Structures are given as structure tokens and as C-alpha cells.
Amino acid sequence: MIIRTGFGYDVHKLVEGRELWLGGIRLDYPLGLLGHSDADVLIHAICDALLGAANMRDIGYHFPDTAAETLNVDSKILLRKTIDLIATKGYRLGNIDATVCAERPKLNPHIPDMQRCLAEVMDTDI
């Protein structure tokens, strides 16, 4: 068995007037992440890691922030499409280890919901 490892990284600015989406779930917080899509930095980093491991460029190449079809798109859709894309090259998800760097909001209470959501989108177990 050949194991490939990818590294994903994403940053979006916190702003007023946007919903905060992380790991596929909406968090109750007064600020949200600025972006062309829903700006879910965790999902975007996971997509980048998966695409990188498969040597398939990055999320911006496949889902550009200039495309009308990605405007305000739910990042879970991008993640599902990424899983399908890597499968075209014969790859499948093995494991994900992800870190979110944020002081607020506190994420620990939301991690189980994020894990369930992401596992469902990627059709894998938690």
C-alpha cells in the first residue's frame, strides 16, 4: 500500500456581517470569515491537503474564487467534489489530522459535531 500525505493551509479574515462556518457547521458567533464561498477555512485546508497528496494542485485551481458557481457555495460541496476528484486518480482518504488556530470562539465544544459532519460528507467513519 502506498500512503501519500498532503498539507493544507487556509486563512480568512474575521469580519462583521458574515456567518461563521467551521468544519461544515455554523457557529453562533458575531463575526464570520470573509471569502467568496462560505469561507470555511477548515474544509478549505482539508481540500488542499487531499488535492496536494494526490498531486492535483490546490482548491483555488479546481474551485476558483472568480467563478460564479463558487460564490457563497457551501464548502461541504467542495469537499465532496474533492473526494470525488482524488478518486479519479485512484486515491482515497486514509486519515485527517487538522488544527485550527483561533483564540475565539472556543472550538472544543463543537469538535464532535464537526467530526460527524465531515465524516458524513467524506463518507467515512469519525
Domains of the chain by start residue, with CATH: 14-122 (3.30.1330.50)
Question: Cell triple for residue 110?
Answer: 463543537
pTM for this prediction: 0.96
Side-chain-side CA neighbours of residue 37 (13 Å):
26
pLDDT of residue 19: 97
pLDDT tens by residue, 20-41: 999 999 999 999 999 999 999 9
Measured CA to CA, the distance from residue 48 to residue 8 in angstroms comes to 5
The C-alpha angle with vertex 100 and arms to 98 and 101, in degrees rounded to 5, equals 140
User: Per-residue pLDDT for 115 more than 90?
Assistant: yes
Q: Residue with C-alpha cell 459535531? A: 113
pLDDT tens by residue, 84-105: 999 999 999 999 999 999 999 9
pLDDT of residue 88: 98
| Residues 56/86, Cβ–Cβ less than 8 Å | yes
Q: Residue with C-alpha cell 474551485? A: 63
What is the arithmetic mean of pLDDT over 41-60? 97
User: Per-residue pLDDT for 1 more than 90?
Assistant: no
Q: What is the dihedral of CA 53, 49, 120, 81, to 10 degrees?
A: -80
Side-chain-side CA neighbours of residue 117 (13 Å):
19
